[in-house]
Amino acid sequence: MKTLRIGSGAGYSGDRIEPAIELAEHGDLDYLVFECLAERTIALAQQARLLDPQAGFDPLLGERMRRVLPFVGRGADGQRRRLRVITNMGAANPLAAAREVRRIAGELGLPGLKVIALSGDDVLATLLDDPSQTLDNGKTLASLGERLISANAYLGVDGIIDALRADADVVITGRVADPSLFLAPQIFEFGWATDDWTLLGRGTLVGHLLECAGQISGGYFADPGFKDVPDLARLGFPLAEVDATGRAVISKVAGSGGRIDTATCTEQMIYEVHDPAAYLTPDVSADFSAVSFTVQGPDQVLAVGADGRERPPSLKVSVGYLDGWIGEGQISYGGPGALARGRLAREVVLERLKLTGVAFEEIRAELIGVDALHGLELGARADSEPWEVRLRVAARCADRAEAVRIGNEVETLYTNGPYGGGGASKSVRQVVAVASLLLPRDAVTVQIHSEDMA
């Protein structure tokens, strides 16, 4: 039976590159997928595009493509197809990203590569036809006004399948649901019907398991003495070998670091899932509730039992908007009495912000090493006082100037605060918030672009 080997080359935009190249070189892959778009990455990219119309795609696109394209396409003899690449690194500007990939292919002496970009996920103009629509946070689009910067629908497999049919070697998308990047080549290669919900559920499980790259092969897992992972610095990225029935074996390149077993697979299957019987994507409502994993060999796990039901009627749209500024300051205290001095420093900063009338919408003042991650109640479970603590004050302000004053009040503790404060730092950043709404499918038109538009 024909099988398909799909590798995962990135779990987020800034991910390591050499494990992806290791997969391309030694994974005997048919497809390599790079998933690089977190919730608000497109909103940030859209801001970059406003400043420069040729920008707005993944900053590591060029480096990744320079390293991986030599393994893509028909090669020197022009006969055997080697691996194809599917990626959402197009972010807010897939067409410009595709142009950049063609340029790099030319530089590398690979002019025959077919690079296809997908458009249609950017629905900002469509949404603005009806600004009375309400987001999941209760705000209307109209109320965001000038602060609204992006609106992108989560596309499914359709456009990617069109691109593969058009013989693409490299498919560049903007916002596409993460598992769809992996499901599309399975549908295309095996000829699955796009309403065979069981097969789509199985293929979506494969995508969900692979989409965070190293998170299934030993990353985000090691807990020394309880869960040990060999050679974490050389973590190998995962690949799946899938057959036409959706039966999949997850593995990695022999000799790479990390581990793949039922424990790593189970953690990743439940990652970012709510109801395991209804994992919604644009393509299917996938059911992972009866999945089971079986070890087939060293770092080889068989996944079976996924199912699916009819896809949701609407597409989710992620809306990015500017939402004020976060000002932050930090300073450390160490040695005997560090905790008491850290607490005093916190009181002083909060009182100073009140005295000087700094306007903020929300504030957090916490002691790193004590209560910053889990609050006071859980933080109090520590057996003894920490040797060192770090005060962190962060506040969200409507105006940048107010946000600047947060870090300044922490910094002035150097000469005005408790004994021995060291290593003060401060920062200000603009908040790009994300909310969502649902859009009917027929409001979205997906198109593929084989050549540059004039």
Partner 1 sequence: MSGIKLRELAHSRTGDKGDTSNISVIAFRAEDYPRLCQWLTVERVTAHFAELLDPSGPPLRRYELPNVHALNFVLPGILRGGVTRSLALDAHGKALGAALLDLEL
Using CB under 8 A, list all residues that contact partner 1.
Answer: 39-40, 136, 220-221, 223, 226-227, 262-263, 266-277, 288-293, 305, 323, 326, 362-364, 366, 368, 372-378, 381, 392, 394-396, 431-434, 436
Is 244 or 431 the residue whose CB approaches partner 1 more closely?
431
Pairing of strands 307-309, 170-172: unpaired
Q: Which residues contact 2 (CB under 8 A, 6 or more apart)?
A: 189, 190, 243, 244
Is 263 or 438 the residue whose CB approaches partner 1 more closely?
263
Is 153 or 171 the residue whose CB approaches partner 1 more closely?
153
Query: Could you tell me the smallest distance in angstroms from the CB atom of residue 442 to partner 1?
Result: 26
Run of H or E including 274 = none
* Nearest residue to 94 (alpha-carbon basis) of 155, 147, 148, 146: 155
Is 22 or 35 the residue whose CB approaches partner 1 more closely?
35
Three-state DSSP at 340 gives helix
Query: Could you tell me the smallest distance in angstroms from the CB atom of residue 223 to partner 1?
Result: 7
> How far is CA 212 from its chain centroid?
8
Query: Could you tell me the smallest distance in angstroms from the CB atom of residue 109 to partner 1?
Result: 42
* Nearest residue to 157 (alpha-carbon basis) of 199, 110, 209, 105: 199
DSSP 255-272: T-BS--SHHHHHHHHHTT
Query: Could you tell me the smallest distance in angstroms from the CB atom of residue 408 to partner 1?
Result: 17
* Nearest residue to 368 (alpha-carbon basis) of 425, 298, 283: 425
Query: Could you tell me the smallest distance in angstroms from the CB atom of residue 27 to partner 1?
Result: 25
Q: Please, what is the angle between helix 178-190 and helix 197-210, to 10°?
A: 130
CA gap 156, 280 in Å, rounded:
11
Query: Could you tell me the smallest distance in angstroms from the CB atom of residue 40 to partner 1?
Result: 5
CA gap 288, 281 in Å, rounded:
13
Give the pair of three-digit tokens for residue 92: 């807010």
SS3 annotation, 178-218: HHHHHHHHHHHHHCCCCCCHHHHHHHHHHHHHHCCHHHHCC
CA gap 202, 248 in Å, rounded:
9
Residue 412: other Cβ atoms inside 10 A: 16
Query: Could you tell me the smallest distance in angstroms from the CB atom of residue 184 to partner 1?
Result: 22
Is 107 or 275 the residue whose CB approaches partner 1 more closely?
275
Is 296 or 416 the residue whose CB approaches partner 1 more closely?
296
Is 168 or 326 the residue whose CB approaches partner 1 more closely?
326
Is 319 or 448 the residue whose CB approaches partner 1 more closely?
319
Give the number of residues written for the chain: 454
Q: Which residues contact 419 (CB under 8 A, 6 or more apart)?
A: 341
Q: Please, what is the angle between helix 158-165 and helix 178-190, to 10°?
A: 40
Is 50 or 290 the residue whose CB approaches partner 1 more closely?
290
CA gap 434, 446 in Å, rounded:
23
* Nearest residue to 4 (alpha-carbon basis) of 258, 146, 189: 189
Query: Could you tell me the smallest distance in angstroms from the CB atom of residue 263 to partner 1?
Result: 6
Query: Could you tell me the smallest distance in angstroms from the CB atom of residue 113 to partner 1?
Result: 36
Is 114 or 392 the residue whose CB approaches partner 1 more closely?
392
Query: Could you tell me the smallest distance in angstroms from the CB atom of residue 425 to partner 1?
Result: 13
Query: Could you tell me the smallest distance in angstroms from the CB atom of residue 375 to partner 1?
Result: 4
* 431 residue type, one letter: V
Is 40 or 74 the residue whose CB approaches partner 1 more closely?
40
232: alpha, beta or left, given left = phi > 0 and alpha = psi -120 to 50?
alpha
